[in-house]
Amino acid sequence: MNRVAFCTLSIGAIVVALLVPFRLDSPLGRTQVLPGLNGRGQRIVWPKRVRTARVVLDRLAVQHVPHAAGLLALQGAVSARSANAFPSPRPGGDRLAPITVDYPAEGSIFPPDISPPRFIWRDAREDATVWLIDVSFSDGSGGIQVKSKGERLRIGEIDQRCIAESNKLPELTPQEAASRIWAPDAATWASIKKHSVERPATVTITGFRDENATQAVSRGQRTIETSKDPVGAPIFYRDVPLIPGIGEKGVIKPLPESAVHLIKWRLRYVGDSESRTMMQELPTCANCHSFSRDGKTLGMDVDGPQNDKGLYSLTPIKPETSIRSENVIKWTSFRALEDSDHIRVGFMSQVSPDGRYVVTMINDPRPKQTGSGLRPQDRIYVANFTDYRFGQVFFPTRGILAWYDREARQLRPLPGADDPRYVQTAGFWSPDGKYIVFERAEAKDPFPEGAESPKFANDPNEAQMHYDLYRIPFNDGRGGVPEPIAGASQNGMSNNFPKVSPDGRWIVFVKCRNALLMRPDSQLYIVPARGGVARRLRCNTALMNSWHSFSPNGHWLVFSSKSRSPYTQMFLTHIDADGNDSPSILIDNATAANRAVNIPEFVNIPPDGMMKIDVPAAESYRLFDIASDLTAKGYLEPAIAAWRKVLELDPRNAKAHNNLGLALMWQGNLVEGTAHLQKAREVDPSFGDPPSDFGVTFFNREQFNAAMQKSDCDAVVSYGNKILAVAPGDADVKKALAKCELKVNSH
């Protein structure tokens, strides 16, 4: 074909598109425009004559590469004509009022495996009643038009159990109340993603004041694109109520014990419209989970019986995962910590990439601590507030890093991160497990004498702690010399919660004025892994940005924020090879509108890799507390029954064997009681002989039983009172004393 013929065809194609009048009531290619339902609309395609012109130009561009640049200009003209093929706003040609698109942000990048988002906008024209959403693509494909009624933005589902006097139901701001929404259906969204892969798609929203969409009054626009990089893994997170309460002696608790069972642990694939519940209704608190990089091991802090904070579970991940007592480590059972009273361990523990090691923060056990620094209040700063939005500030002021070896079953300090002059905490592994990035600051007393108590988060009266980020080699547990990370240290701010990217090139961390993590002013920054210039991430929202985690492929970062609601939500951002990120994308419908999302963590598992988590260990802890309480009150029969239930769930629980043995011997069952005491010593040699006063207690019990058989009320009263001095709640003894008193009075 010569140049003249080529130009003739090109002009013919453009004439079809531009000179033939195009109105909204022109014949459509395949589908009709239908009213939107629940904020959605139905997809339509470009008029046939426009599609034909684009197809002709596409083919000409392929066949005549030398003229491709000119053809691309013609294609752009067709696209522009198509995208703006709306009627004039009014015969006079008045300017259209602005539509402000609040979400997604300009330049947002969506993962190819995410479910449809909600487009949110505000229209300056109050008389707009219907909106046309026009999506045009830069890949040369035909565009999409959708008619929508623009449903109002609404508050999501409310969990009635989480409503309390100490919190408030979420409310729409005046700006949100004025908003309209449109959510594309699955087919429309799939088409948008397909034609916007690493190319911009322009979404134009035009408002009309008539149902027939003939009188345009407003218009707004947003450009988005789709990444070629999928998220590729689900997010595991904790779903919590925000119910601060005032307990005994006026002590504020971020969550009363009666509400602990409302906490859920959930799993979210971004392509799903809602999350799956993995765990719920636990009788005890579990916190600060982490996963090995291979997705085979789950690590989690678990509160044990009698509020024991020194427990940590390391559990194999299966479709039906089970956290059993044999998976639970008791940090204080290790030789290095045996002589350290009131040890606090397990703060922000992290499983190594291969699942063999755990790095955690403990007290310095060398030598045995005495005096200042011994009690929790000497090394942990805690302040709780009645403001449910930011109900707690919590951070360590003393502590060292230690590492646990699952194969050797040993816990040891990490040389180089064990200096008692500093607090060393929140260690996170490099993806190859060769080094650890951690927080360090000068150790101090968290509650100096005369200090005023803070009344709210970021109150200047908070203890001031500015952490710097350091990097130290793990070196098979031998540690090394810690080095400050330039750009994330000595900058007058608190640098904390470092996460190393899967390729080992970058560290994303939180920067705030004081302390760590969920601070109102916390912002996400990125810095080269070996230090350099730190950059504030583009994805940061206006209020609290923290609890971040890299996807296994390193292309996406999930984080928590309170920018849209006091009830924390999850967001995504894309990270490219140069560490550049995109505006934040909301992971919608992660929980009820009056519940909060925290500790989101990617887990490298297939779609059916984890369907459910049960925690028989937690049930054994609940029964342990019940049995302990019954024993203390002297209710031997129900206490013995409860101890037996504990041992059914946890056969190697030395304490339960010991306590059951003592209870049986008090009851007079010497043979079985002795057997359980021996079993306790087999499991844990630290359990020695019964208490020194046990013989006296056992003698009193024997004499009491003998007196009961003889109906000797004098002896019953004498030995019964001695038993009650040790076990004041013994119901059998109280009942016997009451009978004897009645017998004496009747005479």
What average pLDDT does the segment 69-89 reach? 40
Task: Please give the residue that has the higher pLDDT: either 581 or 335.
Answer: 581
User: Which pLDDT band holds residue 46 (cuts at 50, 70, 90)?
Assistant: very low
Q: How many CA atoms lie within 13 A of 364 on its CB side?
A: 23
Give the CATH superfamily of 618-746. Tetratricopeptide repeat domain (1.25.40.10)
Q: What is d(CA 150, CA 40) in angstroms, rounded to the nearest whole number? A: 8
The residue with tokens 């752009």 is 76
Question: Which position has the higher pLDDT, 362 or 37?
Answer: 362
CA distance 366 to 344: 14
The pLDDT tens digits for 164-177 are 999 999 999 999 99
Identical fold at 235-614 and 618-746? Answer: no
CA distance 505 to 577: 9
Cβ of 254: how many Cβ atoms within 10 Å?
18
- What is the Cα–Cα distance from 518 to 598, expressed in whole angstroms? 9
- The mean predicted confidence, pLDDT, of the chain is 84
Residues 6 or more apart whose CB falls under 8 angstroms from that of 12 comprise 56
| CB contact at 8 A, 340 and 365 | yes
Question: How confident is the model over 208-235, as pLDDT tens digits?
Answer: 999 898 999 999 999 999 999 999 999 9
Whether the pLDDT of residue 29 is over 60: the answer is no
In this predicted structure, the answer to whether residue 456 has a pLDDT above a threshold of 70 is: yes
The arithmetic mean of pLDDT across residues 122-149, rounded, is: 95
Q: In the chain, what are the domain boundaries?
A: 3-226, 235-614, 618-746
Phi-psi region of 426 (alpha: psi -120 to 50; beta: other; left: phi over 0): left
CATH topology of domain 235-614: Neuraminidase (2.120.10)
Answer whether residue 306 shows pLDDT above 70: no
Strands annotated E in 380-434: 380-384, 392-396, 400-405, 410-413, 422-429
Bridge pairing between strands 216-226 and 108-110? parallel
Query: Could you count the other beta carbons within 10 Å of the beta carbon of residue 444?
Result: 16
What average pLDDT does range 101-113 have in this prediction? Answer: 98
**pLDDT tier for residue 34 given thresholds of 50, 70 and 90:** very low
Q: Cα(234)–Cα(228) distance, rounded to whole angstroms?
A: 18
**For the chain, percent of residues with pLDDT exceeding 90:** 59
| Terminal C-alpha separation, the chain | 130
Query: Whole-model pTM?
Result: 0.80
Q: Which fold has domain 3-226?
A: Immunoglobulin-like (2.60.40)
Q: Report the DSSP beta bridge partners of residue 383.
A: 393
Burial class of residue 394 in the structure, from the number of CB atoms within 10 Å of its CB (0-12 exposed, 13-18 middle, 19+ buried): middle
Quick one: pLDDT at residue 281? 87
Lowest mean pLDDT among 544-548, 662-666, 736-740: 662-666
For the segment 80-86, the average pLDDT, to the nearest whole number, is: 39
Instruction: Give the residue with greater pLDDT, 316 vs 88.
Output: 316
Chain-centre distance of CA 722, in angstroms? 53
The string of DSSP letters for 587-606 reads: ---SS-TTSEEEEEEE----
Mean pLDDT value across residues 189-193: 97
How many Å apart are CA 53 and CA 75, to the nearest integer?
9
Specify the amino acid at residue 712: D
